[in-house]
A and B are shown apart, each in its own frame.
Chain A
Amino acid sequence: MNKRKQYIFLITLTISLNSNLAIFAEDKISMEKEDHCISCHIEDEVLPENFKDYDIHNQSGLGCSGCHGGDAAKEDMDEAMSEKSGFIGIPNKHQIPGICGKCHSDIEFMRQYQPRIATDQVEQYYTSFHGKKLLEGDKKVADCTNCHTSHAIISAKDPRSTVYALNVPQTCTQCHGDADYMKSYNIPTNQYTEYVKSIHGISLLEEQDTGSPACNDCHGNHGATPPGIISISHVCGLCHANNMQYFSTSVMGKVFEEQELHACEECHGYHQIEKTTYEMIGVGENSVCIDCHSEGDTGYLVADSISRLIMTAVTLHDSALIRQTEVIRKGMDDVEIGFLLGDAKQNLIQARTIVHTFDPDKVGEKTEASSSNSKAAISLADKEVEDYYVRRRGFGIATIFITIVVVALFVKIRDLEKKRLAEQSAQQQS
């Protein structure tokens, strides 16, 4: 953007903000106890069902006139909706950010309700793609009401809200998934269909894990914009901090930067980021390394070496897991084995993260530790299984011994009985 354009943009932004805010500059925020607007408009289809019960503004006492102007205290319709009383009716798209910002940009006012709430939403909005386009006169872009709705606004923490973490992808795709609507912008509309198949989408939408990222976690909320090349690793690094750090300080990180490659995205993709597999590393057909490296170059050798280290540790860990299952099935003690396998897994996870250093020595330290834990677990499992058979053999020996004593007792009892009967018959005869 050249300097002239920047000046025009800033002036436009300032005028727009001031004019929007000016509409209500002299008004006090309407917090009437008695709201005559609702008594007429409650049956209007604009107001959703149960509006009174869950609209956060209505619950906090913000009446219709807070946004639409007018005097809600007046019973007379004409007086209530007169120009004199500041009535503006349905606000136009350009007015909306200003109307919302009247309260939401005022920290003095907002802290009465939420002391920690941010009040930079409108400011951020005008830096977003949506906000910029709105200033340019585009009436199709999203304003506050497109995401938050206008009359059923619920706290973002409430699962019923359109901007609750689990609902965000669906909210964004209302516009971004509509090919006809998005035609004029010439951007793809398959983000949602790709996202739902991704590890993030599955985790958020299927497993209901609200810790997984939705659209806004990478693109921003009010300042939503596609992340640039430089910021991609930073965006991913917000959650995957270690991976980002290892990658950015690695040899590969520097090469990516020089060649303006999309850091994480080059290997993992973006909207359809799939669950990582061990096959992604190495020189196999599912490897991402061979997308750039070929046989004979250093990168190819490093990829092969790292893959071998990891696969050795994985194979040992899998063998140990099978042995643990056998121990559990036999009803023996697997507590220690479980601890060892937990450590082995942890080391493997760390090795997978350290892969982003592209240093076989560093990866080797962790795979070696993992293998060592797995070997110890296998050894313990062998001991438990051996113990299992010892117990059974012991029981067998005990049973043989007891049986011999039981048989001996039986013989003795019979002898005693015979002896007694003989004595009795001798007595009877005498």
Chain B
Amino acid sequence: MIINTTSKKLFTWLDNRFNLSPLLEFMRNKQVPVHRHSVWYYMGGVTLFLFCVQVFSGILLLFYYKPGIDSSFESIRFIMTKVQFGWLIRSIHSWSANFMVFFIFIHMFSTFFTRAYKKPRELTWISGFILLSLALGFGFSGYLLPWNELAFFATKVGTDIVGAIPLIGDAIKIVLRGGEEVTGGTLLRFYAFHVALLPALFTVFLGLHLLFIQRQGMHEPEFIEQLPKDKKKVIPFFPDFFLRDAFLWLIVLNILLFLAVFFPWEIGNKADAFAPAPEGIKPEWYFMFMFQTLKLLPGQILFIEGEIVGILFFTFAAIIWLLVPFWEIRKKPGKKIQPMTVLGIISVLFILIMTIIGYIA
């Protein structure tokens, strides 16, 4: 009773100054459609939860991580072996990073297949695409931070690929590496990207992405949109949808704990710039489809180097994908499988097949 009275007083105090009542009213009335594709609504929420896990575990790691060619690997080993629960935090950070990218992909493709990118949600799609790019940047920069040999050579290969982009590639490579080669300078640079630049950008675009969703509400698939209002099933966002979200988050958290305990993330061997490249250098799984495609391309395609053709193809494909809301092929009535669905299936299959080949080869 006392708590209720105090919280009411506090709310009134804040409301008088910041006019919170409309916001509260908005949240009270916010509704989420219920239909056979509702499950995809939870993918964005899980991604957001994993981002929070990343921020929390990342801050804890920052307490002990020391960037530098003489300290990165050693400090990670210290975290894994000496710091209380350091092994748990580091493993959760690594597993959660992979989960986050995975759920971003799921979220993106579910948005694509349900055509949620259409007017008026073009900017939500674009901000989501930017968030995916930033997440990949997080993955690429974070991979190098333990300064182990696999990460060192994968970064070398990765930045070499960037360097092959015509005209601007070499300049980007030098900016990324902080020089001609992957050195301690690159490590410091990647550290700065990973803990300062990318989080700042990610927070801005995540804020915009969430703001757009709140302003426009959840997207309804066409077959729901066409129904009369009294036929549409909805649930309130608070507390029903939020509790369902929390339900899924807890399951994901338990899976993360399981993986961290039973499959702790390896440290590997310390990077040695003068050692020969070890066997099995491979990028993170989410870059594998691009890496494998570049590997499979012939040395020369017509008069252009195969690798450059591949890079140009992926750059072009990314731009096309980013601009999907502006060029999408309209639905063809009577057709069981729409052209955009076919395009999406081809894209998913391409990514899956190339990733599998990359791991088998």
Q: A residues near B, CB below 8 A?
A: 331, 333, 335, 391-392, 394-395, 398-399, 402-403, 405-406, 409-410, 412-413, 416-417, 420
Given known pairs A395-B258, A413-B243, A416-B243, the reply for A402 and B81 (CB within 8 Å) is: no
Contacts of A409 in B (CB 8 A): 243, 246-247, 250
Set B239, B244, B254: member contacting A402, Cβ < 8 A: B254
Residue of B nearest to A399 (CB): B254
Contacts of B88 in A (CB 8 A): 391
Interfacial residues of chain B within 229-282, with CB under 8 A of chain A in the complex: 235, 239-240, 243-244, 246-247, 250-251, 253-254, 257-258, 261-262, 264
* 5 A-B residue pairs with CB within 8 Å: A333-B81, A335-B77, A406-B247, A409-B247, A410-B247
Interface size, chain B (Cβ < 8 Å) = 20
Given known pairs A405-B250, A412-B243, A416-B240, the reply for A398 and B77 (CB within 8 Å) is: no
Q: Does B80 contact A (CB under 8 A)?
A: yes
Least Cβ–Cβ distance between A388 and chain B, in angstroms: 10
Residue of B nearest to A384 (CB): B81
Q: A395-B258, A413-B243, A417-B240 are in contact. List 4 more A-B contacts (CB 8 A).
A: A333-B80, A409-B246, A413-B244, A416-B243
Contacts of A406 in B (CB 8 A): 247, 250-251, 254
Judge whether A413 and B81 touch: CB under 8 Å: no
Contacts of A395 in B (CB 8 A): 257-258, 261-262
Judge whether A416 and B261 touch: CB under 8 Å: no
CA distance A171 to B360 in the complex (A): 49
Contacts of A394 in B (CB 8 A): 261
Secondary structure at the B interface, as helix, strand, loop or mixed, is helix
Q: B residues near A, CB below 8 A?
A: 77, 80-81, 88, 235, 239-240, 243-244, 246-247, 250-251, 253-254, 257-258, 261-262, 264
Contacts of A420 in B (CB 8 A): 235, 240
Judge whether A391 and B243 touch: CB under 8 Å: no
Judge whether B254 and A416 touch: CB under 8 Å: no
CA distance A331 to B80 in the complex (A): 11
Judge whether A331 and B264 touch: CB under 8 Å: yes
CA distance A394 to B257 in the complex (A): 10
B88, B247, B251, B262 pick with most chain A CB within 10 angstroms: B247
Residue of A nearest to B266 (CB): A331
Contacts of B247 in A (CB 8 A): 406, 409-410, 413
CA distance A370 to B264 in the complex (A): 33
Q: 7 tightest A-B contacts by CB?
A: A333-B81, A395-B261, A409-B247, A402-B254, A406-B250, A413-B243, A402-B250
Contacts of A333 in B (CB 8 A): 80-81
CA distance A235 to B77 in the complex (A): 47
CA distance A52 to B257 in the complex (A): 70
CA distance A231 to B254 in the complex (A): 73
Judge whether B257 and A416 touch: CB under 8 Å: no
Contacts of B254 in A (CB 8 A): 398-399, 402-403, 406
Least Cβ–Cβ distance between A423 and chain B, in angstroms: 11
Least Cβ–Cβ distance between A48 and chain B, in angstroms: 36
Contacts of A405 in B (CB 8 A): 250
Contacts of A413 in B (CB 8 A): 240, 243-244, 247
Judge whether B77 and A416 touch: CB under 8 Å: no
Judge whether B258 and A335 touch: CB under 8 Å: no
Judge whether A402 and B240 touch: CB under 8 Å: no
Least Cβ–Cβ distance between A67 and chain B, in angstroms: 45
CA distance A399 to B258 in the complex (A): 9
Judge whether A416 and B239 touch: CB under 8 Å: yes
Contacts of B80 in A (CB 8 A): 333
Judge whether A391 and B261 touch: CB under 8 Å: yes
Set B81, B251, B262, B264: member contacting A335, Cβ < 8 A: B81
Contacts of A402 in B (CB 8 A): 250, 253-254, 257
Least Cβ–Cβ distance between A300 and chain B, in angstroms: 49
CA distance A413 to B264 in the complex (A): 34
Least Cβ–Cβ distance between A343 and chain B, in angstroms: 19
Contacts of B81 in A (CB 8 A): 333, 335
CA distance A335 to B235 in the complex (A): 55
CA distance A394 to B258 in the complex (A): 11
Least Cβ–Cβ distance between B302 and chain A, in angstroms: 44
CA distance A406 to B251 in the complex (A): 8
Contacts of B77 in A (CB 8 A): 335
Least Cβ–Cβ distance between A404 and chain B, in angstroms: 10
Contacts of B258 in A (CB 8 A): 395, 399
Contacts of B240 in A (CB 8 A): 413, 416-417, 420
Least Cβ–Cβ distance between B263 and chain A, in angstroms: 8
CA distance A410 to B240 in the complex (A): 11
Contacts of B264 in A (CB 8 A): 331
Least Cβ–Cβ distance between A382 and chain B, in angstroms: 16
Contacts of B244 in A (CB 8 A): 413
Least Cβ–Cβ distance between A144 and chain B, in angstroms: 41
Contacts of B246 in A (CB 8 A): 409
Residue of A nearest to B263 (CB): A331
Contacts of A331 in B (CB 8 A): 264
CA distance A398 to B259 in the complex (A): 13
Residue of B nearest to A335 (CB): B81
Set B239, B243, B257: member contacting A398, Cβ < 8 A: B257
Least Cβ–Cβ distance between A371 and chain B, in angstroms: 25
Least Cβ–Cβ distance between A330 and chain B, in angstroms: 10
Least Cβ–Cβ distance between A251 and chain B, in angstroms: 49
CA distance A402 to B77 in the complex (A): 29
Residue of B nearest to A405 (CB): B250
Least Cβ–Cβ distance between B90 and chain A, in angstroms: 13
Contacts of A403 in B (CB 8 A): 254
Least Cβ–Cβ distance between A184 and chain B, in angstroms: 54
Residue of A nearest to B254 (CB): A402
CA distance A398 to B251 in the complex (A): 12
Least Cβ–Cβ distance between B73 and chain A, in angstroms: 12
Least Cβ–Cβ distance between A421 and chain B, in angstroms: 11
B77, B81, B239, B264 pick with most chain A CB within 10 angstroms: B81
Contacts of B257 in A (CB 8 A): 395, 398-399, 402
Least Cβ–Cβ distance between B168 and chain A, in angstroms: 44
CA distance A398 to B257 in the complex (A): 9
Least Cβ–Cβ distance between B79 and chain A, in angstroms: 11
CA distance A402 to B255 in the complex (A): 11
Least Cβ–Cβ distance between B254 and chain A, in angstroms: 5
CA distance A391 to B80 in the complex (A): 13
Least Cβ–Cβ distance between B211 and chain A, in angstroms: 27
CA distance A259 to B240 in the complex (A): 99
CA distance A410 to B88 in the complex (A): 28
CA distance A410 to B246 in the complex (A): 10
